[in-house]
Amino acid sequence: MTAVDAVGESSAAGQAQSEPVTEQPTTGQPTTEQPTTGQLATEQPSGERQPGAERKGRAVHPSPLPLWAGVILALASGAAQLLAFPPYGLWWLAPVGTALLAIAAHRRRLRAGAGLGALAGLTFFVPLLSWTEIVGGVAPWLILAVSQSAFLALLGAGTAWLSPLADRYRWVWPLATGVFWVGQEALRDRIPFGGFPWGRLAFSQGDSPLLRFASVGGAPLVTFAVALAGGLLVVAVWRPWRSGTPRVRLMGAAAGLGAVLVVVVGLAVPLAHPSGRAVNVAVIQGNVPRLGLEFNAQRRAVLDNHVAATRQLAQQVAAGKAPQPDLVVWPENSSDIDPLIPQDADARSLIDGAAAEIKAPILVGTLLEGPGENLRNVGIVWQPGTGPTTPYYVKQHPVPFAEYMPLRGLAQLVSSRAALVGNFVPGDHSGVLDTGKLTVGDVICFEIGYDDLVRSAVQGGGQLVTVQTNNADFSTAEARQQLAMVQLRAVEHGRDALMASTVGVSAFVTSDGTVLDATRFNTQAELDRALRLGDEQTLATRLGPLPEFVLGGIAVLVLVGAGAVRVRDRRIASA
């Protein structure tokens, strides 16, 4: 069944489960009771019902919006969420998107709610993830978008399930909207194949006051705040002005004000700032000969680019035009040639020369061969004069279908490019790397999206968050979406951070989420800036996954409560 098929149920059928009927005293024929005063029966303050409803032995539930209106709202929900993310950056549309989906799915049957959720998800994820088509082709791109939309289908079904409870207790809506979004993201971040956190509501808030909530409860609390504001918007606009009751109108006005207050409160959340000494850090964006997969066949040219850019920076330092760096960061895949094996001694010699000339350790992103026929995606600290140090960081979360291939036989039927994917093995420890003058918490590429990987690097002693990434196979939109994740992590852990990319966007991010020195895409650049080291832990760092577990648990309780109301309604209807 497609999403449109699922929502294409008649309004009459849609009431069979959730809208019991009353009997007309004069004819004995069943009919849906309609309020005569303009106020919906279940929209009475404090969950009150119309006089006589229970005396007649029936529960009353008004009809949902027309199907065409639900479809329009679902499409608008997905579009609003998309526009909230970079490169558009209209962060204030994220709460609007959550509100539109909640209204669209309200009072629907479960299948219809799921269908509308899936429709919103497709409208959001298909364009958001369009950059994946560059690597995998159209089929993998659409399969990924559909798989992520399935989680919004669950959200839509949950919203429909909530309807009887929300009709009785209007203030359940904001809480439920918030915890439902956190719950579906918690699932999406973990399944299948370790999850895919791209497109979390929190990652749309890089320039929003709501970003500050990350210092208290990380990405889950930011998502909750966004969706809570959306739920308050639902209470504000869901027919309060047609009720004719001043109390209900006042409730709607208060809810609208509450949505604004959630954002304003974000401005009051205190931020943690690193209090350690300042260090000079340089980022090298060497660029690649050309975009696309072909760059992997030109790995020596990529290494040469990063060596040349580092030597250019060294010349600026020697001339007094740039400060002496304490650390130089190269991006992921800056050397796709394994510099630790004898047959590639020339690669090792090039990196040795660059480190000696810049007179600073270089955090090199490279590929190591082994064990066996496997590969490892690593970050290695390369000291001037002594070379590579141990331990180095091995990427803990290789990307499925890009760095290793689950279901390889099936994947090759979908895309011929599946045969190009090697087998990267994961590391077993966090990216805490001692460079001599400072300790970095390193993550590689998409790992910036996973809460536990960044947190473990900070808790392990990372004084600065470094993100080594390779965006050469993607687009500016993908790079800017990734940079928004770095903004959230900087605030979450009270650390200055940076993102080093092969082609852009590279940038520094301060602990309050401010982006500095962002580069253009597909250019060569050398950045340098003084950053402060941090040793203290924010509340979010100390709490870890606890806020997500608590909010997810509340979501389960709300679903159980909604189920209890449904059971009660059925008993009343059958009495």
What's the per-residue H, E or C state across 110-152?
Answer: HHHHHHHHHHHHHHHHHHHCHHHHHHHCHHHHHHHHHHHHHHH
Catalytic residue at 332?
A: yes
Does the CA dihedral 442-443-449-450 come out positive or negative? negative
**φ and ψ at residue 366, rounded to 5 degrees:** -145, 175
Residue among 96, 100, 101 nearest 116 (CA): 101
- Structure-token pair, residue 105: 């799915």
Buried b vs exposed e over 110-124: b needs ≥16 C-beta within 10 Å? bbbbbbbbbbbbbbb
Residues 6+ apart with CB under 8 A from 363: 327, 328, 329, 330, 379, 380, 381, 382, 433, 435, 440, 442, 466, 468
Given the residues 445, 492, 526, 548, the one annotated as active site: 445
Annotated catalytic residue within 395, 403, 478, 548: 395
| Spatial CB neighbours of 521, under 8 Å, sequence gap ≥ 6 | 471, 475, 476, 479, 503, 504, 505
The CA-CA-CA angle for residues 164, 165, 166, to 5°, reads 95
DSSP code of residue 531: E
Alpha-carbon torsion 99, 101, 104, 108, what sign? negative
Please name which of 406, 345, 399, 352 lies closest in space to residue 377, comparing C-alpha atoms.
399
Provide φ and ψ at 282, rounded to 5°: -115, 145
Partners of 529 in the β-ladder: 281
Sheet containing strand 432-434, strands side by side: 432-434, 439-444, 464-469, 497-501, 507-509, 515-516
d(CA 293, CA 419): 13
End-to-end CA distance of the chain: 35
How far is Cα 203 from Cα 91, in angstroms, rounded to an integer? 9
Rounded Cα distance between 200 and 181, Å, is 9
The catalytic residue positions are: 332, 395, 445
